[in-house]
């Protein structure tokens, strides 16, 4: 049985822990590896090594730091399919979707290779006679990242490449449910020439996260995961005076106007709702049918009914199993709640299983109509292949519904009308908006900007905002005396 190593002080080391968690293949729940819960001593060693490495790494020229990212980007590309295979094996994602997970991470590494431009400060000459003012961007020290199961390549890559390119050192605590992919990412980072100690990996669950939240040498913490854990991490981290960015759960609405192209709408709904078994924080989980578009429910049902889950290496499979039996139980309980609360179950995937893999965490595509805002299936994040249809009389009503929702990760509008799209983009209280694009995840030169209950903090992931999150600004006001400038005491606060 493979045991996942820790990565401390530049070495992959077996943990001395007596506590291990099973890593499973979600298609049949067979155990494929064991991941340790790092001990106190091992975590202390990781922080100590990261602190020491910071002293040298922050002095390493920015172009040298960028070159590590350039080499890393190439290695990730060279090993793209191999990483995707590991990823598919522990998440159950289809191979194509697993490749997308890796690719969206590679794009962030490409962005991190531009770090010199991203770290540029500002300068104003002659803020007073002979005085210039300029800002410097400096790293914070040891930063940490806690990542979820659903994107084991992309989300770690949202974090450590940018933090490290900024001159920080980094401790990653990946999801205990799929640690094999991040382990491979780290091996390649070492191969890319990352110096000893700039990156450390500890494994485990709550106790290991609490260690990072409480350790005084950890200056900033990035988290992606569920709402309760995100709120907990934000509260405890900021209570300990750390910088925290916490990306949490979502309920993403697609508003469908009756002037939209019906077939395009339906194609987009299918992929965006049940793709990756609905385990995407930007998945469409609610479709708001406006006016005449309400008549499209039957066509949506027909198209979703064609979707077949399957094994990661089956090219005809649309999506794979859920990550764990616990996740499946939660989704099945919510499907039952939808039925009990009076939503119309137009398609029921709760009985689905894959022949020969009956012990896996399968749920078939599921569709509810006539969903109202007071139902649990509307209020709670399902994180499964379950789509809710709800109705609105007008665009104003649709906007009011979306704005009343506590989450604000992503949303989209499908319409042929520029004015409706412009109104939606302007009035909607959601951080990422798609116009005829169902899952509007920004590319890394922008930032990933969830709002409201989907994000706690102020600076978001990647883009320029991540650089601000992982750095401190220092502003210098400088005068070099020469004979022309009168000296003598200045008794005011004006620069003269
Ligand atoms: P999770 O919150 O269960 O786990 C995330 C991380 O937190 C893991 O590393 C886990 O070990 C750790 N953790 C779990 N319980 C903890 C506790 N009590 N105290 C401290 N740490 C704890 O999330 P998950 O199930 O792995 O991921 C799915 C969730 O992530 C969904 O809610 C999804 O919407 C969200 N997500 C959000 C985004 C975003 O950008 N907003 C992106 C991806 C996923």
What is the predicted ipTM?
Answer: 0.98
Tokens of 304: 């979703």
Tokens of 452: 């409201």
pLDDT in tens, 50-103: 999 999 999 999 999 999 999 999 999 999 999 999 999 999 999 999 999 999
Pair 240, 214: CB distance under 8 Å: yes
Considering the chain, what is the average pLDDT of its residues? 97
Residue 298 burial by CB count (10 A; 0-12/13-18/19+): exposed, middle or buried? exposed
> Residue 490: what pLDDT?
80
Q: Exposure of 129 by Cβ count < 10 A (0-12 exposed, 13-18 middle, 19+ buried)?
A: exposed
Per-residue confidence band for 303, with pLDDT thresholds at 50, 70 and 90:
very high
Distances 436 to 281, 294, 440, 480 between C-alpha atoms, Å: 19, 18, 9, 56
Question: Which residue has its alpha carbon closest to ligand 1 atom 16?
Answer: 206
**In this model, does residue 487 exceed pLDDT 70?**
no
281 catalytically annotated: yes
The arithmetic mean of pLDDT across residues 208-219, rounded, is: 98
Q: Give the binding-site residues of ligand 1, using a 6 Å CB cut-off.
A: 146-151, 173, 175-176, 205-206, 209, 224-226, 229, 232, 247-250, 281, 381, 383, 409, 450, 454
Please check the confidence at residue 273 and state whether its pLDDT lies above 90.
yes
Asked if 6-248+462-476 and 252-435 have one fold, the answer is no
Partner residues linked to 173 by β-bridges:
146
Residue 440 has pLDDT above 70, yes or no: yes
Beta carbons of 226 and 248 less than 8 angstroms apart: yes
The strand pairing partners of 412, in sequence order, are 254, 434
Kindly report the length of the chain.
Answer: 496
Instruction: Report the Cα–Cα distance between both ends of the chain, in Å, rounded.
Output: 72
Dist. CA 4–CA 183, nearest whole Å: 8
Separation of CA 156 and ligand 1 centre (Å): 12
Between the CA of 51 and the centroid of ligand 1 the distance, in Å, is 26
Phi, psi for residue 92 in degrees, rounded to 5: 85, 0
Question: Is residue 12 over pLDDT 70?
Answer: yes
Task: Kindly report the protein residue whose alpha carbon is nearest to atom 11 of ligand 1.
Answer: 205
Q: How far is the CA of 211 from the centre of ligand 1 (A)?
A: 17
- Can you tell me the distance from the alpha carbon of 96 to that of 115, in angstroms, rounded to the nearest whole number? 30
Q: How far apart are CA 193 and CA 452, in angstroms?
A: 39
C-alpha of residue 228 to centroid of ligand 1, in Å: 9
pLDDT at 439: 97
Distance from the alpha carbon of residue 124 to the mean position of ligand 1, in angstroms: 43
The residue-averaged pLDDT of 350-365 equals 98
How large a percentage of the chain has pLDDT more than 70?
99
Instruction: State which ligand 1 atom lies nearest to the alpha carbon of 230.
Output: 2
Q: What band does 361 get if pLDDT is binned at 50, 70 and 90?
A: very high
pLDDT at 261: 97
Residues ≥6 apart with Cβ < 8 Å to 495: 127, 128, 131, 477
Please give the CATH topology (third level) of the domain spanning 6-248+462-476.
Aldehyde Dehydrogenase; Chain A, domain 1 (3.40.605)
Closest-CA residue, ligand 1 atom 34, reads 249
Minimum mean pLDDT range among 47-51, 97-101, 126-130, 258-262: 126-130
**pLDDT reported for residue 492:** 84
Rg (CA), the chain: 25
> 140-155: per-residue pLDDT in tens?
999 999 999 999 999 9
d(CA 83, CA 250): 27
E-assigned strands of 66-179?
Answer: 123-128, 131-139, 142-146, 169-173
- Which residues are CB-neighbours of 4 under 8 A, at least 6 positions away? 23, 33, 34, 35, 36, 179, 180, 183, 203
Q: Which atom of ligand 1 is nearest to the CA of 281?
A: 34
Q: Tell me, what's the pLDDT at 268?
A: 98
- Contact between 278 and 318 under an 8 Å Cβ cutoff? The reply is no
Report the pLDDT averaged over residues 325-345. 98
Which residues have a Cβ under 8 Å from the Cβ of 487 and sit 6 or more positions away?
481
User: Between 228 and 489, whose confidence is greater?
Assistant: 228
Q: What is the pLDDT of residues 363-390, one digit of tens each?
A: 999 999 999 999 999 999 999 999 999 9
Query: What top-level class would CATH report for the domain 252-435?
Result: alpha beta
List the catalytic residue out of 37, 166, 281, 388: 281
- Nearest residue by C-alpha to atom 23 in ligand 1: 225
- How far is the centre of ligand 1, averaged over its atoms, from the C-alpha of 226 (Å)? 4
Can you tell me the distance from the alpha carbon of 322 to that of 343, in angstroms, rounded to the nearest whole number? 23
Ligand 1 atom 39 nearest Cα: 247
Beta strands in 321-385 (DSSP E): 344-347, 366-369
* β-sheet with 411-414: strand ranges across: 344-347, 366-369, 386-392, 284-290, 252-256, 411-414, 433-435
- b/e burial code for range 302-333 (CB count within 10 A of at least 16 → b): ebbeebebbbbeeeebbbbbbbeeebbebbbe
Is the model's pTM score more than 0.90? Answer: yes
How much of the chain exceeds pLDDT 90, in percent? 97
Q: How confident is the model at residue 493 (pLDDT cuts 50, 70, 90)?
A: confident
Of 213, 223, 226, the one to substitute when testing ligand 1's pocket (max ligand atoms within 8 A of C-beta) is: 226
The arithmetic mean of pLDDT across residues 319-332, rounded, is 98
Q: Ligand 1 atom 20: the closest Cα is on which residue? A: 206
pLDDT confidence tier of residue 295, bands split at 50, 70 and 90: very high
Q: Domain map of the chain by residue range?
A: 6-248+462-476, 252-435
**Within a 10 A sphere around the Cβ of 142, how many other Cβ atoms?**
26
**Atom nearest to 213 CA in ligand 1:** 20
Q: At what angle do helices 154-165 and 62-78 cross, to 10 degrees?
A: 160
- Separation of alpha carbons 311 and 320, rounded Å: 6
Q: According to the model, what pLDDT value does residue 297 have?
A: 97
Contact 233, 209 (CB under 8 A): yes
Number of H helices, E strands in the chain: 16, 23
Judge whether residue 484 has pLDDT over 80: no
Kindly give the distance from the C-alpha atom of residue 225 to the centroid of ligand 1, in angstroms, as a whole number. 2
CA 13 – CA 378 distance, rounded (Å): 45
Q: Given a cut of 70, is residue 483 above it in pLDDT?
A: no
Atom of ligand 1 nearest to the CA of 323: 25
């Amino acid at each position: 049985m493979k045991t996942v190593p820790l990565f401390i002080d530049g070495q992959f080391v077996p943990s001395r822990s007596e506590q291990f968690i099973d890593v499973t293949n979600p298609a049949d729940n067979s155990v494929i590896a064991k991941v340790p819960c790092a001990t106190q001593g091992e975590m202390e060693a990781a922080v100590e090594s990261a602190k020491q490495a910071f002293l040298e790494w922050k002095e390493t020229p920015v172009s040298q730091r960028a070159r590590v990212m350039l080499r890393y980007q190439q290695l990730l590309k060279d090993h793209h399919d191999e990483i995707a295979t590991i990823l598919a094996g522990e998440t159950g994602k289809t191979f194509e979707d697993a490749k997308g997970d890796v690719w969206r991470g590679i794009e962030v590494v490409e962005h991190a290779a531009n770090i010199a431009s991203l770290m540029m400060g500002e300068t104003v000459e002659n803020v007073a006679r002979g005085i210039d003012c300029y800002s410097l961007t400096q790293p914070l020290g040891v930063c940490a990242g806690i990542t979820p199961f659903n994107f084991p390549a992309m989300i770690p890559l949202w974090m450590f490449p940018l933090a490290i390119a900024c001159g920080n050192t980094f401790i990653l605590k990946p999801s205990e449910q799929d640690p094999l992919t991040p382990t491979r990412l780290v091996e390649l980072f070492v191969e890319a020439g990352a110096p000893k100690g700039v990156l450390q990996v500890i494994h485990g669950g709550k106790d290991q996260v609490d260690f990072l939240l409480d350790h005084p040498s950890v200056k900033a913490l990035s988290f992606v995961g569920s709402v309760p854990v995100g709120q907990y991490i934000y509260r405890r981290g900021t209570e300990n005076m750390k910088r925290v960015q916490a990306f949490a759960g979502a309920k993403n609405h697609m508003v469908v106007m009756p002037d939209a192209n019906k077939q395009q709408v339906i194609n987009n709904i299918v992929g965006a709702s049940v793709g990756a078994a609905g385990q995407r924080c930007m998945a469409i989980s609610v479709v708001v049918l406006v006016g005449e578009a309400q008549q499209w429910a039957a066509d949506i049902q027909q198209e979703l009914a064609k979707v077949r889950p399957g094994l990661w290496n089956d090219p005809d499979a649309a999506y794979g199993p859920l990550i764990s039996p616990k996740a499946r139980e939660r989704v099945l309980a919510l499907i039952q709640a939808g039925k009990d609360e009076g939503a119309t179950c137009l398609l029921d995937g709760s009985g689905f299983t894959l022949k020969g893999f009956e012990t896996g965490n399968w749920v078939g595509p599921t569709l509810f109509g006539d969903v109202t805002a007071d139902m649990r299936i509307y209020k709670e994040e399902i994180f499964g292949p379950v789509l809710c249809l709800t109705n609105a009389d007008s665009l104003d009503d649709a906007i009011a519904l979306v704005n009343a929702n506590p989450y604000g990760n992503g949303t989209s509008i499908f319409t042929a009308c520029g004015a409706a799209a412009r109104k939606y983009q302007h009035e909607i209280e959601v951080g990422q908006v798609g116009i005829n694009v169902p899952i509007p995840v920004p590319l890394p030169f922008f930032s990933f900007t969830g709002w409201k209950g989907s994000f706690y903090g102020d600076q978001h992931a990647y883009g320029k905002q991540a650089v601000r999150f992982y750095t401190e600004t220092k502003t210098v006001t400088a005068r070099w005396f020469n004979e022309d400038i009168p000296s003598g005491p200045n008794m005011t606060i004006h620069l003269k």
